[in-house]
Amino acid sequence: MKRLLPWLIRLAPLLLVAVCAILLVFLLQQGLGSLSPTLLFGNVPPLQAILGKAPVWEGLWPACAGTFCLVLLTQALALLPGLGCGIYLAEYASPKKAATISLAMDILAGTPSIVMGLFGFTLIVCLRQSFLPNANTSLLLSAACLSLLVLPVIVSSCCEALRALPRDLRITALALGLKKRTVVTRILLPQASQGLAAGLILALARSAEDTAVIMLTGAVANAGLPAGLWDKFEALPFAIYYTAGEYQNAQDLTRGFGAALLLLLLSILLVLIAHVLERRYLRQRQGTHAAGCSR
Amino acid sequence: MPGSKLLTLPHDKDSEADLWIKAATVLAVLAVIALCAMIVVAALPALFSQTHTPFEWVWQPYHGHFGILPMCASSLLLALSALIIAFPWALGIVIWHLTEEEPALSWARKAFGLFIRLLTTVPTVVLSFAAVFLLTPLLRTAFGGTGMCLLGATLMVSLLILPTMVLVMESGLAQPLERLCPQGLALGLSRYQLLCHCLLPQSRTTLLQAAVLGFGRACGDTLLPLMLAGNAPRLPLHLTDSTRTLSAHMALVTANEVGGAAYNSLFAAGLFLLGTTLCVTLALRRLARAKSSGSTV
Amino acid sequence: MQPAVLVENFSLSLNRVRILHAVNFSAAQQGISVLVGRSGSGKTTLLRSLNRLNETIAQTETQGRIRLDLGVGLEDIYPGEQTPRPVSEIRRLVGMVFQSPNVLPLSIAENIALPLRLVRKLPSREINERLQTCLKQVGLWEETEHRLESSAETLSGGQKQRLCLARALALEPALLLLDEPTASLDVHAAASIEEHLKELATHYPIVLVSHNPRQACRLATQLTVMEDGKIVETFREHLPNASEITEMLSERMTELV
């Protein structure tokens, strides 16, 4: 028994690695062959597809473009509130206010994405019944709900990045007679930029992969390239979900695997970048992990 | 001095926050309040509906039954069964990761940290997609039926919550263990003995935190149960039964129905889910507070 | 007489930084060998080499030889490839007390009983006997007799440190290592520890690192001065008094400046 125990304990991580390896190999085996321009553009010449001159029916390009727009829009919507709230939490909030803000962020972080989606859905239903009878689920609504989803990620990483800065920096700058807001925006924020970037990239990854929110707020299977803020759109995760249930032939299925592989690689890449940035940032600051910024 | 009061400093305009920062904070907090308020208000008509109450065990929209209780039960059941698998598994992984002393395996220990970190971000839709075409056929051959069942969803959800639980456990155990190590090793104890005999019995809060967080995640996930559990709106009595969780129910109803009592039950479902995760969040905060105030480890 | 500790030409680096340079050191079977030196001079590292504790903290490379008498004559501790005993047994046979009183987060009794149960695999009757003996040995029995089951964290600093000493003694060590055992204690607690150490030194070889010249000359039967990872002087007879030690340490400091 004594001899066996270390080996029994080693079984647990081995099992996990094995399961993940099986899933990954399966995905690669099914999807790797399809990774080519055809996967994205079908039979349409890539340049024309990218410029939007020819519609793509047999490729993932509209879904990719949709996800791209969605992610950018989400980031644009969430950036200022997220940074502002993170700065306030780290630099200005009294303990009481900090408790309120972190409670709000904790609640938001714990809320399932489908509930965020429901929130967006409810919003549209309300608008339609009141003063915007033509309102419908759309790209903008999805992005708004997603920005709610990534808000806690941005807030907590912004707060953590600021708190990892040395205390001396703050005191020195204040002792020079600078106003606190100047210190924060001109000295602390640039110093913390690498940590901030890590948080933003994490938020990017989070908004790119979420499916439940966009399912309820405007993603559809055949919308073509995203036409505008008020239109329905295609997205990569939704395309994957849709393929699993509605595929017609082997070609559809292969495209589904290609899409899954693409999304997987994308989020792994983003998270790796964020990880490296964060490690570098914390090592530079020799920062112990700052406490108090809940995640 | 009795009776003396601390002087409050005069209001200092220079150390006040920029307007946009204040506005951003107010916006963020208001958004959370709006989210909760809106779901509650939207759910009210359903909760007090006399004709189409959501509190019944039958979901047959065409016969006027809009009960969501089976979905509630199924959500909780799925989360609990996933927890039963994932908790010991995560604990085993953490024990290994913190106590592996074999120098030949130190590279594996280092790589494993990053591996777990990456696992937390695997898109659930990709996980579900792979499982639909890999796990479901296996279950079909093993148990018959469609292969879409509680068991499949349970297995994949436990895989989903595993990395998060591992990270929570490690963040609570790693530092205390390192603090124990010099003296513990000097006594001739191994890292494994220190962790399992000294630390774990003291670390109930950390383990509970991991379990609660895992439960919350498992309740809230949509794609895995939606794609793997078969979505039959009834109470699963067996692991191989098809079932429908609240989250999956919400996705299905918004996709298929337009208006009426079905919508109302949708909001009731959303409220129940929000309430559950709210409890989870509050419990986690309470646990975190208990840990920072009460522990000496 | 054969020494209990014999360090020959021993060099050590932690994470590729050389800490000890060709150290030669020995300690007798009885009495207290005191190591003094400024902080960063390598005292603690040398001490931790004797039970191979450095390698649990950082990547360690060594050169040279360390031998200890663990009950059956001198045996090799370093070079580390083919030591006759497993490392954990070496650590068990070398009792160590740290600068800050590190009790395990368990009850007072468990602090002593757990290592005995896990490392020595003794039956519980014998553990209870030994618990009592060891607590008496460090003068803790009267104070804790009635609350053996309460958490060790409830003890005062001096009591904790004596508990750590008792815990080390319970494992029946062949050698005691003490790393500034009174540094975090008040004068009275320190004095009581020192009394017990003098008593113990008649049965055990003790190697003690000290920061405090007065303590060093109160306790030492052999005094070794370290500087920059090297041993600069060893006194076996005619030990210097406290002010001489202070002078020696500060002299080297000014030499550096």
Could C56 and B187 be called an inter-chain contact, meaning their C-beta atoms sit closer than 8 Å? no
- Pairing state between β C31-37 and C205-209: parallel
Question: Do the Cβ atoms of A149 and A113 come closer than 8 Å?
Answer: yes
Where do the structural domains in chain B lie, given as residue ranges? 59-294
CATH number at residue A159: 1.10.3720.10
Give the CA angle between residues B30, B35, B41 to the nearest 5°.
115
Confidence of residue C61 (pLDDT cuts 50, 70, 90): confident
Can the peptide bond before residue B233 be classed as cis, meaning omega within 30 degrees of 0? no
**Sequence-distant (≥ 6) Cβ neighbours of residue A131 within 8 angstroms:** none
Confirm whether A192 is domain-assigned: yes
b vs e for B175-194, b when ≥16 Cβ sit within 10 Å of the residue's Cβ? ebbeebbbbbbbbbbbbbbb
Nearest chain C residue to B179, by CA? C102
Could you tell me which residues are beta bridge partners of residue C69? C74
What is the SS3 assignment for C234? strand
Question: CA-CA distance, A9 to C199, in Å (whole number)?
Answer: 45
Q: Considering the domain boundaries, does residue A6 fall inside one?
A: no
One-letter amino acid identity for B179?
R
Euclidean distance between CA atoms C141 and C139, whole angstroms? 6
Q: What is the mean pLDDT of chain C?
A: 87
Considering only residues 104 to 123 of chain A, which have any Cβ-Cβ distance to chain B shorter than 8 Å?
104-119, 121-123
H or E element in which residue C33 lies: strand C31-37
What local confidence, expressed as pLDDT, does residue B1 receive? 45
Rg of chain C in Å (alpha carbons): 18
Task: Give the pLDDT of residue B296.
Answer: 41
Asked if residue A32 belongs to a domain, the reply is no
A205 CA to chain B: closest CA distance, Å? 8
Please list the residues that pair with A186 across neighbouring strands. Answer: none
Amino acid at B237: L
**Across the B/C interface, how many CB contacts are shorter than 8 Å?**
64
Q: Do B227 and A85 touch (CB under 8 A)?
A: no
Residue of chain A minimizing CA distance to B263: A122
DSSP state of B9: P
Q: Complex ipTM, two decimals?
A: 0.89
The second-level CATH assignment, the architecture, of C5-256 is 3-Layer(aba) Sandwich (3.40)
CA separation for the pair B206, B217 (Å, rounded): 17
Taking a contact as any Cβ pair under 8 Å apart, which residues of chain A between 172 and 191 contact chain B? 179-181, 184-185
Contacts of B280 in chain A (CB under 8 A): 110
User: Distance from A104 to chain B by nearest Cα, in Å?
Assistant: 6
Residues of B in Cβ contact (< 8 Å) with A271 = 117-118, 121
Q: Which chains touch A (3 or more CB pairs under 8 A)?
A: B
Please, what are the averages of pLDDT over each run of 10 residues along chain A (295 residues)?
75 94 94 83 79 79 92 95 94 90 94 93 87 84 94 94 86 82 86 91 93 89 83 92 89 91 93 91 66 52
Question: What is the number of other CB atoms lying within 10 angstroms of the CB of residue C250?
Answer: 11
Low-confidence ranges of chain B (pLDDT < 50): 1, 296-297
Which of B187, B204, B291 is the best substitution to test chain C (most C C-beta atoms within 10 A)? B187
> C23-43: per-residue pLDDT in tens?
999 998 888 999 998 888 889
Domain ranges of chain C: 5-256
Is residue A277 one of the residues assigned to a domain? Answer: yes
Residues 6 or more apart whose Cβ sits within 8 Å of residue B62: none
Task: For chain A, state the CA radius of gyration.
Answer: 23
Note whether A240 contacts B125, CB cutoff 8 Å. Answer: yes
Chains C and A touch (3+ CB pairs under 8 A): no
The answer to whether C153 touches B296, Cβ cutoff 8 Å, is yes
Contacts of A88 in chain B (CB under 8 A): 17, 21-22, 24-25
**pLDDT tens per residue across span B148-199:** 999 999 999 999 999 999 999 999 999 999 988 888 888 888 899 899 988 9
> How much is the pLDDT for A24?
94
Q: Which two tokens stand for residue C106?
A: 């368990």
Two tokens, residue C228 = 């920059």
Task: Give me the total of CB pairs closer than 8 Å, taking one residue from chain A and one from chain B.
Answer: 240
Identity of the residue in B21, B93, B274 whose CB atom sits nearest the CB atom of A12: B93
What pLDDT sits at residue A112? 94
Contact B39 A110 (CB under 8 A): no
As a whole number of angstroms, the distance between CA A244 and CA A263 comes to 15
Q: Does A18 touch chain B (CB under 8 A)?
A: no
Q: Please check whether residue A39 lies inside any domain of the structure.
A: no
Q: How far apart are CA A205 and CA A236, in angstroms?
A: 13
Rounded Cα distance, A277 and A283, in Å = 10
B99: nearest Cα among B184, B205, B213, B210: B184
Q: Count CB-CB contacts under 10 A for residue C73.
A: 9
In this predicted structure, the answer to whether residue C250 has a pLDDT above a threshold of 80 is no
- Alpha-carbon distance C75 to C52, whole Å? 14
- The pLDDT assigned to C203 comes to 87
User: Cα distance from B281 to chain A (closest Cα, Å)?
Assistant: 6
- Residue in B with minimal Cα distance to A279: B114
Q: Do B42 and A122 touch (CB under 8 A)?
A: yes
Report d(CA C110, CA C95) in Å as an integer: 17
Fold of B59-294: MetI-like fold (1.10.3720)
Among C38, C17, C49, residue whose Cα is nearest residue C226: C38
Tally of residues, chain C: 257
pLDDT at C255 (0 to 100): 53
Structural domain boundaries, residue A189: 58-285
How do beta strands C205-209 and C94-97 pair?
A: unpaired
Domain count along chain A: 1
Distance CA C98, CA B102 (A): 26
Residues 6+ positions from B194 with CB-CB distance below 8 Å = B177, B180, B181, B184, B185
- Structure confidence at residue B44 (pLDDT): 87
Q: Which residues of C are less than 8 Å from B198 in CB distance?
A: 104-106, 114
Residues in chain A: 295
The CA dihedral of B149, B152, B158, B159, to the nearest 10 degrees, is -150
Token pair in block for residue B32: 């959370």
- The secondary structure element, H or E, covering residue C221 is none
How close is the nearest chain B Cα to the Cα of C256, in Å?
A: 32
C144 within 8 A of C159, measured Cβ to Cβ = yes
- pLDDT tens string B59-85: 887 777 888 899 999 999 999 999 999
In a domain, A28, yes or no: no
Residue type, B77: L
* Minimal C-alpha gap between A43 and chain B (Å): 25
Residue A175 in 3-state DSSP? helix
Element at A294 (helix H, strand E): none
